Amino acid sequence: MKQYTDEELVRLYVDTQRNQYFEALYTRYCDKVYRKCLSFTKDSARAEDFTHDIFLKLIVKLGGFKEQAKFSTWLYSVTYNYCTDHTRTRRGNEFLTEDIDRVPDYSDDNDAEIAEMQSVGLRNALEQLNADEKSLLMMKYQDDFSIRDIADMTKVTESAVKMRLKRAKDKLRKHYLEGVVMWLLLALRYIITKWPLRF
């Protein structure tokens, strides 16, 4: 099966309906999908359910795969959309109230700042964001999707993606700094209780 590309395997599965082709695709991507689900759910049992449902959904949709994008991009799109939909909370979804024409400028100015964030702090800051914001940042910086790909996957315009990314990065930076300040205060408090100042 290794000689077949993903797209060939899809075609073979659709034409023959033989499980071996689906299983080959599954073997290639199950870990990636499972890890992505785990990133959203933080719970292995729930991540297993998500993975199961995503692949089942995939089988139903395989017949409609038009090969306009790579299979992997398409699978990630299904995965991200599923995870975002099922982990979205009632917490305000700012994306719905955006004014796309107003803030179309996007730049990578604060990317350097994000690149310098420590993993632990970054993980905590990401957890403070809503599912859509988290999903967007993961697509861009974990899976290296282009703005065009993200726009296709989320079915919005490129300018909307740029603006959402900018907002998500601003929020991420804010939560990260809050975390850093909190740790500094805790450290300061510890130092003061350990070695009290004497005047």
Binding site for another protein (CB under 8 A): 17, 19, 22-23, 26-27, 30-31, 33-35, 38-39, 44, 48, 51-52, 55-56, 59, 111, 114-115, 117-119, 122-123, 126, 137-138, 141-142
Residue 123 or 189: which CB sits closer to another protein?
A: 123
Residue 38 parent element (H or E): helix 19-41
Question: For residue 127, with 0-12 CB atoms within 10 Å meaning exposed, 13-18 middle and 19 or more buried, which class applies?
Answer: exposed
Phi-psi region of 198 (alpha: psi -120 to 50; beta: other; left: phi over 0): beta
Q: Are 77 and 58 in contact (CB under 8 A)?
A: no
Residue 11 or 32: which CB sits closer to another protein?
A: 32
Residue 114 or 151: which CB sits closer to another protein?
A: 114
Q: How far is the CB of 193 from another protein (least distance, A)?
A: 32
d(CA 145, CA 87): 21
Q: How far is the CB of 1 from another protein (least distance, A)?
A: 14
Residue 28 or 167: which CB sits closer to another protein?
A: 28
Residue 11 or 28: which CB sits closer to another protein?
A: 28
d(CA 141, CA 187): 31
Q: How far is the CB of 150 from another protein (least distance, A)?
A: 14
Q: Are 50 and 83 in contact (CB under 8 A)?
A: yes
Q: How far is the CB of 140 from another protein (least distance, A)?
A: 8
Q: How far is the CB of 95 from another protein (least distance, A)?
A: 20
Cα distance from N-terminal residue to C-terminal residue, the chain: 77
